[in-house]
Amino acid sequence: MNKSSSGDSESLSQAIETLRIYCGLLLLNLEKYKKGLDDNIIGDFIARGMTCTDSIFVVWQQGREQDAWILHRSLVDRLFLLHYLIESNSFAAFEEYSFMKTYETRRGLLNDKEMLNKFSADQIKGLKELLKSQEACYLQLKSKPNQWCRPKAKEVAKNMGLGFLYRFGYDYASMYVHPMALDGEVDFIRLVSSSNNRSHTDSTVIKNSILVQSILIQEGINASSMKWRAIIYDFLDQILKFLGDANNLEFNATLYKIGRIWPDNDLCKSRDSSILK
């Protein structure tokens, strides 16, 4: 793997900043035309994925590459889950699952005497009242015969034809999630060495994260209830070209063009509207 130069870091920073602005514009348009739960969850996934990508870059810049890989694993997991929700049309079941898991976690707090000692009387009272108001809904959902369960990342990756993202993203990053015998060597050197003697950090995790977030965005907008202008997809294509050639910064010009279109013209429309060009 190649080590990054300061110029490489600057171009990656520029790509992530531009991608962040692009995501913001997407989400503003999605918010305007969204039609239901699916669009809500898609928007949340795009937003959370972008925040995670930002965090990966910040951690990587600080020389903590292994921590960046841990966050990258979370980003890949989010992509796989979104794809699964789209393919299985299980957004509603996922929301129900999320509600039940949150309810059960909060109920577990109330049943744990050691944890209760860390809360004030008002906090405990508020939690009890919240659970009481949600109990009927929880019991109704819990009684359903077919409960949603999380898919296996490896199986989703295979279904997507992106096994390499599992092997060299999710599975590779798992080495840093679960302690390994030598995974503190880099941290030891970083802590005892002066900043002037530290080598440049490998930028692979950043490039891979931009790739994953770009795929996540495309999965999301393809599955949304809207149809999007062609220039929205042009931007994603150009980001991918940048990952193969750091000197290709065409995505900047495309974002400028998008900015010229919006807000006077929408970037998307409902699918039953006339075609956007």
Give the pLDDT confidence of 4-15 residue by residue, as tens digits.
Answer: 445 588 999 999
Per-residue pLDDT band for 184 (boundaries 50, 70, 90) equals confident
Mapped onto helix, strand or coil, the DSSP state of residue 53 is helix
Residue 249 placed within a domain: yes
First vs last Cα of the chain: how many Å apart?
41
Same domain, 67 and 77: yes
Same domain, 109 and 135: yes
Position 3 pLDDT exceeds 50:
no
The domain boundary residue, chosen from 147, 176, 191: 147
The domain boundary residue, chosen from 147, 169, 190: 147
What does the pLDDT read at residue 125? 92
Beta-bridge partners for 3: 202
Same domain, 85 and 111: no
Same domain, 193 and 266: yes
- Cα–Cα distances in angstroms (integers) from residue 136 to residues 85, 103, 124, 125, 181, in the given order: 26, 11, 20, 19, 48
Per-residue pLDDT band for 256 (boundaries 50, 70, 90) equals very high
Residue 177 placed within a domain: yes
Residue 277 placed within a domain: no
| Mean of pLDDT values over 145-171 | 93
Position 266 pLDDT exceeds 70:
yes
Same domain, 157 and 227: yes
Same domain, 80 and 216: yes
Residue 276 placed within a domain: no
Same domain, 114 and 235: no
- Range in 16-25, 147-156, 199-208 the model is least confident about: 199-208
What does the pLDDT read at residue 202? 87
Mapped onto helix, strand or coil, the DSSP state of residue 226 is strand
- Bigger pLDDT: 114 vs 45: 45
What does the pLDDT read at residue 1? 38
Domain count, the chain: 2
Same domain, 264 and 143: no
Q: What percent of the chain has pLDDT over 70?
A: 93
Summary mean pLDDT of the chain:
91
What does the pLDDT read at residue 116? 80
pLDDT digits 0-9 by tens, 25-53: 999 999 999 999 999 999 999 999 999 99
Residue 181 placed within a domain: yes
Sign of CA dihedral 105, 109, 114, 117: positive
Same domain, 168 and 191: yes
Same domain, 84 and 97: no
Q: Where are the alpha helices (DSSP H) in the chain?
A: 6-33, 37-61, 65-88, 91-110, 113-116, 121-142, 153-160, 163-165, 171-177, 185-192, 204-223, 230-244, 250-261
Same domain, 102 and 197: no
Residue 197 placed within a domain: yes
Domain hosting residue 260, numbered range: 6-90+151-270
Residue 124 placed within a domain: yes
Same domain, 251 and 162: yes
Position 229 pLDDT exceeds 90:
yes
Residue 275 placed within a domain: no
